[in-house]
Structures are given as structure tokens and as C-alpha cells.
Amino acid sequence: MKSLKQKILTDGSVISNTVLKVDTFLNHQIDPKLMADIGKEFAHRFAGKSITKILTLESSGIAPAMMTAMELSVPLVFARKKKSVTMNEDCYIADVYSFTKKETNQITVSKKFLSPEDQVLIIDDFLANGEAALGLYQLIQQAKATTVGFGMVIEKSFQPGREKLLLTGLPVESLARIESLANGMVRFIEHEEMSVK
């Protein structure tokens, strides 16, 4: 997605070989026009799938997921992060390990918002190790609902998340795929068709 890649180049900051900061437009300050374009792009990439719901994780996933839900005219559900959840029969719960924070959090979603009839598209802001996306996938599985695919705004393709998600057999659509952050420079994977399987 050209406008997103351009934005990453102009406004993103490479903090290290593995960390890209995009807090000026994606996960602290948010550019609404870009979010609208992201929503349109995800809707386009998953066109023809009968999506009934968008699932994301608080907080940074909410803005792009919201605009995708808007484009597809379906509800958005965001899972909540908790340090530790006591067993609760009203919620689906999954463990998500954070490599950044080196801790396991639990993510939860109320059982009433995922049902076996649902066809759910998972949206998140970053794909790195895939832990958050797989946690969301587990919540959908617990509900015996169907996952339609994964829509990720920025993918750090040099980390193993994409491969892990592909093991589910589901399509993974990332709007900007970053091959490398070496030498303080963002290099995208170029010349690549990212059509939905």
C-alpha cells in the first residue's frame, strides 16, 4: 500500500535493527485519513469473503480495525489485555507472550460477541512474532467461529510472525512488509503481489 509505505518513510523512526516507531500516525497519534485508506485497502483485499465481524486487540489495533469495520459495515470487537484473568465463564481467554515486555498477558473477549456463525477477520497494527494475532485466532477457535484471515498494517517480515500465521492455512495480508531495518533504513519487500488466497 503505497501511501502507507510513503508515510513510514517520511514519518517513521528506525530505533534499532528490530524496532520501528510509528507513533506519529499509527499507535499514539493517529492520522484519520490514512486509517480510512487502510480500511478501504483491507476491505478490498478481503473482498468476496463473507465477513461478519472484525476482531482486534486494544489499543493500537482499534483505529485501523474500526475503519475496516466501517468499510465492510460489520461490527468491530476489541479484545482486552489483562495481566492475569481469573477464570471467568463469560469470557474466552488466550495467553499472549510479549517479546518486547518479556511477559505473558492474557487477552479476553466476552463470549456474547463471538458465535459459531461468525466469519471473523483479524486486524492488528503490527505483525512481528505473531503472538497477539495467534491469541486472537485462539479466541475465535474457542468460540467455534471461523477465521477468515489476518490483516496486518505493518509486517516486520524479518521476524517469524508471518510464517507462524501461515501455518493456520489462512491468508495473511500485510499492507507494508518490511524486509529490513538495518543501518537505520527501512527496506520494504518489493515487487510482490499480495493477493488474497
In the complex, which residues of this chain contact a second copy (CB under 8 A)?
A: 23-25, 28-33, 35-36, 58-59, 62-63, 66-67, 69-70, 73-78, 80, 109-110, 112-113
Cα separation, 49 vs 195, in Å, equals: 13
- Reference 66, options 45, 42, 90, 49; nearest CA is 42
Residue type, 11: D
What's the closest the beta carbon of residue 52 comes to a second copy, in angstroms?
A: 12
What's the closest the beta carbon of residue 125 comes to a second copy, in angstroms?
A: 12
Q: Which residue bears the cell 528506525?
A: 14
What's the closest the beta carbon of residue 36 comes to a second copy, in angstroms?
A: 7
Strands (E), 128-171: 146-156
C-beta closer to a second copy: residue 109 or 175: 109
C-beta closer to a second copy: residue 66 or 134: 66
C-beta closer to a second copy: residue 69 or 127: 69
Q: Is the peptide bond before 59 cis (omega within 30 degrees of 0)?
A: yes
C-beta closer to a second copy: residue 33 or 102: 33
C-beta closer to a second copy: residue 72 or 154: 72
What's the closest the beta carbon of residue 194 comes to a second copy, in angstroms?
A: 25
Residue 172: partners with Cβ closer than 8 Å, 6 or more residues away: 127, 149, 150, 152, 155, 162, 165, 166
All three cell numbers of 160, joined, read 517469524
What's the closest the beta carbon of residue 27 comes to a second copy, in angstroms?
A: 9
